[in-house]
Amino acid sequence: MLVEKNLKEALEYYIKGKPVTALWMGEDGSMNAMLLSDILDQPENHFLVDVPAVINPDFEQAVQGMTEADQVDPEEIIRAVHETQEGITPPNGAGGKDGRRNDRSSGGQYRR
């Protein structure tokens, strides 16, 4: 005789080696039944379980060292930009009356 059980109880039966039948409604409204072992014991199935992470102090220290080494002073970046742009002049024709290249329109005529 088959009796309906909740998931936990059904899994307990399954773990004890007893046959468990899964019953579900198909998209077309039909009733489907299959042994739980046929559903779970597929070679393409993979089961992932959330386990606590193992702390690796060497890894944490390495990450800490990398993040500290990557800290750059914003003033240092600004100085580097200014140094690389010293002596650079804009090409001819750059910047019309209103600062746009070759005095082109900003596309404002298309705005409403």
The more confident residue out of 15 and 54 is: 15
> Tokens 């409403």 appear where?
112
Residue 100: its pLDDT value, please? Answer: 59
Question: Does the pLDDT value for residue 90 go beyond 70?
Answer: no
For 47-66, write each residue's pLDDT tens digit: 899 988 888 888 888 888 77
Which of these ranges, 20-24, 27-31, 62-66, 69-73, has the smallest mean pLDDT? 69-73
The domain spans of the chain are 7-40
CA–CA separation, 24 and 32 (whole Å): 5
Q: Please state, rounded to an integer, the average pLDDT across all residues of the chain.
A: 81
What pTM was computed for the model? 0.42
For residue 66, the SS3 value is helix
Among 45, 42, 43, 35, which residue's Cα sits nearest to residue 14?
A: 35
